[in-house]
Amino acid sequence: MPRRTPRLVPQRTTYRRLFTIPGTRAFTAGNLLARLPTGMFGVSAVVMIAGSRGSYALAGAVTATGLAATAAAGPWLARLTDRHGQSRTALPATAVAVLGSVALLLCVHYGAPDWTLFAAYAATATTPNTGGMSRARWAHLLDGDPESLHTANSFEQAADELCFMLGPALAAFLCGTFFPEAGTLAGAVLLLTGTLIFTAQRSTEPPPSPLPKGGPPWRAPGIPPLIAGLVATGGVFGSMEVATLAYTNATGHRAVGGAVLALQAAGSCAAGLLYGRLKPTGPAEHRLRWCLLAMTASMSLPLLAASTLGSLPALATALLLAGMATAPTMITAMTLLQHRTPEGRSNEGMSLAVTALLLGIACGSAAGGWTADHASPTAAFGLPVAAATTALLLAIQGRTTP
């Protein structure tokens, strides 16, 4: 009888042991390259359009249209991915997204009508969710080893935070140092290159499921309240971003607003890596409620710093500490989503999470902007607390056995 090579990571899982699984280093490298542009495209489009057309309102409307298109197209693309495989769907989807980015660049550069900007940027909605695909690969490789999957999900969340921290900074540097279109062009090249590397790793790809079991993930037991909680969690992110930028602008520190906000992502990245080294205990739904409780408490720190201390260093420290609760929350929520998603629909389940977060971010950003304008930037810091509390209440009310 031939000896079977184990796929699971032996003994206590560490990040080093995690990447001893053949093929994981290669698909992770490609995934990071493909994921970085997700934090670049929005900033690059705003800089490029506002600089050329002189209208931040137009730039914001174009990027908002792209966000809505991404939320609508994501689940559909993920369903195709589950049925036909990651390689067969990610490459054509990436090609369409890259063409959309190039079209946007050309439309801006040559002064095409405004409506063409909306159409071109909407085409980038086919950008594949490589973060979700990567998590699906880990779930496939580590099936039956929840401790290793917990470590893998922690790494993926830290990678998300790192990309969203570095992406906007890289885009701003490229657009400001070279030419306004440089950020969009570099993002398109990184997306295409990373996807080619990622999809070339066929040995780690989950097998397609032409006839997946069960119904749509959003109908599976326990997923609706989890998705609702992710919408509320997205509201935390969106409202905190707007509140921070509005506050730094109002206090005369507009130039460092992005850097101060990046501290929240840095805290989340560090906490995510540390959380992945811990051995998970107890049901994931119980851990999620504790994580949400910690996030609710930590989101009050920026509010207290802005309302009582009025100090930028104090706010920066509060954001760093507040960020440390977000990664454990997201890691646990994604683990729970993987457990509850029907077999053969893992990519679609991950896409639902992204759609929920995007919806929450959009709502949180809008509410944060309205509050900052009609009340005060300091009052806007109360919205992340309210959104986190809502997520906690949803988790408590939606108790379901995984």
CATH 3.30.1370, domain 24-154+164-211, yes or no: no
136-182 pLDDT, tens digit per residue, is 899 889 887 888 888 888 898 888 878 877 887 788 788 878 888 99
User: CA–CA separation, 16 vs 67, rounded Å?
Assistant: 36
Secondary-structure class of domain 219-402 per CATH: mainly alpha
Distance, CA of 238 to CA of 175 (rounded, Å): 24
Integer Cα distance of 360 and 390 in angstroms: 12
Cα–Cα dist 122/83, whole Å: 24
Kindly report, residue by residue over 196-210, the tens digit of the pLDDT.
999 999 989 988 877
Mean pLDDT of 25-39: 91
Q: Does the structure show a pLDDT above 50 at 10?
A: no
Q: Please state, in angstroms and rounded to a whole number, the distance separating the CA atoms of residues 322 and 130.
A: 27
Q: Does 219-402 match 24-154+164-211 at the fold level?
A: yes
Question: Of all helices (H) and strands (E), which one includes residue 228?
Answer: helix 223-250
What ranges do the domains of the chain cover?
24-154+164-211, 219-402
Check residue 375 and give its pLDDT: 85
Which amino acid makes up residue 247?
A: Y
Check pLDDT > 80 for residue 253. no
The DSSP call for residue 306 is I
